[in-house]
Amino acid sequence: MLVEIIKTIILGIVQGITEWLPVSSTGHLILVEQFMSLNQDRDFMNLFFVIVQFGSILAVVTMYFHKLNPFSPKKTAAEKIETWNMWLKVIVGIIPAGVIGFLFEDAIDKYCYNSMVVAAALIIYGVAFIIIEKRSRKPLVTSIDTMTYKTAFLIGVFQVLALIPGTSRSGSTILGGVIMGASRFVAAEFSFFMAVPTMLGASAVKLLKYFKDGLTLNSEQIIVLITGMAVAYIVSVAAIKFLMEYIKKHDFCAFGYYRIIVGIIVLVYFAVTGATIIA
């Protein structure tokens, strides 16, 4: 059990770091799992990789609680209205991925969870980050308050691409935000807020399907899930603080180069081992 907990802690650390940085948590968890997989069946591991994200969600909720809370007594009436408008923009933003994910989840799981797709997504998005940053212009949207509902929806369209493993949910939404004229800071922050309902919904659906299929959780699996979420929460707080400080002085090019390197590693590793299906 101790070995399983250590592995869980490592996976939680990877999840916490890569969920918020635009580098693809799925791609990294896939690589890490190749070398130190938990001694659990595939159904539980698929559940684990989704549920552990709940810890990452809690990090956003606690760090931005005041900004996300429309009922805060410390806010004026105007500020409360702005908060409700922000949530409406978030809801508009998550509609595209919610609809496409609901309709095509099984097809995506069947055809996209393989080494070639993950590697291609890592590399292509890495190149995209570099190109877009090299052509960056002065941002038109400098706060979520000034963001239009159309822009929020279009950022949500980019989030649809995150359904492809290796793309990165934060990477898709941040890239989409920058393309739509948002500053890096606003794009990253809006990406965090969109993650709350998106990941909560994904976790709930995965959990319901797990039990609907007649599967159960034993005490060891519950401990593993709780440990993974706790570690992901702690590390997510640090990762979010790092990213928001980093983008005040730097662009996303470094993440683009990093994605390309990881994508090449995925290609080489699975070519050498002969493996193709990774989930």
Measured between its terminal Cα atoms, the distance across the chain in Å is 24
Q: Which residues of 103-112 are buried (b: 16+ CB within 10 A; e: fewer)?
A: eeeeebeeeb
pLDDT band of 275, cuts 50, 70, 90: low
63-88 average pLDDT score: 95
45-53 average pLDDT score: 84
pLDDT band of 276, cuts 50, 70, 90: low
Q: What is the pLDDT, as a whole number, of residue 278?
A: 52
DSSP 217: -
In a 13 Å sphere around the CA of 270, the CA atoms on its Cβ side amount to 21
Assign 70 to helix, strand or coil.
coil
Residue 30 has pLDDT above 80, yes or no: no
Q: Which residues of 136-165 are buried (b: 16+ CB within 10 A; e: fewer)?
A: eeebebeebeebeeebbbbbbbbbbbbbbb
Please give the structure tokens belonging to residue 75.
């806010």
Task: Select, from the ranges 83-92, 114-123, 171-180, the one with the highest average predicted confidence (pLDDT).
Answer: 83-92
Spatial separation of the C-alpha atoms in residues 195 and 169, rounded to whole Å: 8
Assign 141 to helix, strand or coil.
strand
- 279, part of any domain: no
Spatial separation of the C-alpha atoms in residues 179 and 238, rounded to whole Å: 27
Chain Cα centroid distance, residue 268: 25
Q: What is the pLDDT of residues 142-200, one digit of tens each?
A: 999 999 999 999 999 999 998 888 888 898 999 999 999 999 999 999 999 999 998 88
> Average pLDDT over the chain, rounded to whole?
89
Q: What is the pLDDT, as a whole number, of residue 271?
A: 83
Angle between the 115-134 and 25-36 helix axes, to the nearest 10 degrees? 140
Residue 63 has pLDDT above 60, yes or no: yes
8-14 average pLDDT score: 93
Q: What is the pLDDT, as a whole number, of residue 201?
A: 82
Residue 237 and residue 17 in contact, taking contact as beta carbons nearer than 8 Å: no
- 74, part of any domain: yes
Q: What is the pLDDT, as a whole number, of residue 17?
A: 94
- 10, part of any domain: yes
- 61, part of any domain: yes
Range of the domain at 162: 2-273
Classify the phi-psi angles of 94: left when phi > 0, otherwise alpha if psi is within -120 to 50, otherwise beta. Answer: alpha
Residue 279 has pLDDT above 70, yes or no: no
- 214, part of any domain: yes
- 247, part of any domain: yes
Classify the phi-psi angles of 214: left when phi > 0, otherwise alpha if psi is within -120 to 50, otherwise beta. Answer: left
Q: What is the pLDDT, as a whole number, of residue 203?
A: 80
- 80, part of any domain: yes
- 278, part of any domain: no
Q: What is the pLDDT of residues 121-135, one digit of tens each?
A: 999 999 999 998 888
Q: What is the pLDDT, as a whole number, of residue 141?
A: 94
- Of 39-48, 86-95, 114-123, least confident by mean pLDDT is 39-48
Could you give the number of structural domains in the chain?
1
Q: What is the pLDDT, as a whole number, of residue 156?
A: 95
**Is the pTM of the predicted complex or chain greater than 0.85?**
yes
Residue 204 has pLDDT above 80, yes or no: yes
Spatial separation of the C-alpha atoms in residues 230 and 216, rounded to whole Å: 21
Q: What is the pLDDT, as a whole number, of residue 277?
A: 55
Residue 235 has pLDDT above 90, yes or no: yes
